[in-house]
Amino acid sequence: MKETGTRNKRVVVAMSGGVDSSVSAALLKEQGYDVTGVSLQLYDPIPKEPGCRIKTCCSLDDVMDAARVARKLEITFEVLDMRAEFKQLVIDYFIAEYAAGRTPNPCIRCNELVKFDLLLEKAKKMGADLLATGHYARIAEDSSGCRRLMTGLDPAKDQSYFLFTLTKEQLRHILFPVGMLEKPSVRQLAAEYDLPVAQKNESQEICFIPDNDYVTFLESHGVAQQPGEIVTGDGIVIGRHLGSHRYTVGQRKGLGIAWHHPLHVRAIDTEKNRVVVGGREELETESFTAGGAIWNSITAATEFRATCRIRYRHKPAPCRVLVLDDSRFSVHFDFPQSAVSPGQAAVLYDGEYVLGGGWIE
């Protein structure tokens, strides 16, 4: 069924070659939009060595899958070369964050600076009114016409965490066609549309890193091995490491230390080149500060209640939020949370609505 007012309204669909963006394109065409599919070439092809398991998005194979879907749907299709921009804005950031002892989130960075900034502007120059993606999120419009970001209907697939940087102005030009669907329904629609990617597996890994081996990637891109000490919270040396970039907060496996109880990485001290470890209970944090705040939907309040996610699969935890200034806020949990990692995003919610977020300091 075609929605009122959509005929001849042009929309660019970011087609990653996966089932979600492919179904998004099919749904929009069925609703009467003038659809153009666009795939992004973001990095150079990764050689597939024997035995190397590679599951990516936005690879050349994925671009070819997107092209096949576009032919099936009989829509215009283009490939945009954004390798230089992606390297500068995402890959270089990823390397620098790890080298500084933080845990980056390249997917959020890509959404913020590549897909919903550069690509959105390119879509407008192509004469499009809207940009659509296959993200599992929703956009609601209030009585004043202001659009607000919401969680996806399918809680198991909700991707609002990766989209907290979207501004109110950007939300006016964005569609999430599968945000109101559950994943099995999307699969079923792909089969009904007879799309060539209907049974394609999903990618759960960082797109530009082969076999999800980020350590090898970092060291092949200039992050040097710098041996240092592994210490307890009170400074007792209990082991050695080959480089602090090989560790993340919360990590338990791969420490190479025999101890009378399981050890986890508590912190990474790049100034002293130390990895600080401790028991699981020492990972718990009652509060933290975040910078680079972006507010999607919030009043001028300096203190409010919310729930907070400190990583993608983290269950939103109830908290009190204090707005410190235009770019920083602090989060005070009702109950301590484990493995709060500097460099990760802290996203704030009011029920299903995204309030905003920032980067854990």
Which residues are identified as catalytic? Answer: 110, 207
Residue 216: both structure tokens together? 């090898």
End-to-end CA distance of the chain: 48
Residue 227: both structure tokens together? 């041996």
Measured distance CA(201)–CA(183) in Å, rounded = 12
CB neighbours of residue 321 within 10 Å? 23
108 by DSSP, 3-state: which? helix
Query: 207-234: string of b/e by CB count within 10 Å (b at 16+)?
Result: bbbbbeebbebbbeeebeeeebbbbbee
Phi then psi dihedrals of residue 217, to 5 deg: -60, -45
Measured distance CA(59)–CA(46) in Å, rounded = 8
CB neighbours of residue 93 within 10 Å? 17
What pairs with residue 232 in β-bridges?
277
CA atoms in the 13 A half-sphere facing the CB of 310: 27
Determine contact, residues 38/12, Cβ cutoff 8 Å.
yes
CB neighbours of residue 284 within 10 Å? 13
CA atoms in the 13 A half-sphere facing the CB of 137: 21
Distances in Å between the Cα of 196 and the Cα atoms of 33, 35, 78, 134, 193 are: 22, 18, 18, 16, 9
Determine contact, residues 37/27, Cβ cutoff 8 Å.
no
Measured distance CA(221)–CA(79) in Å, rounded = 27
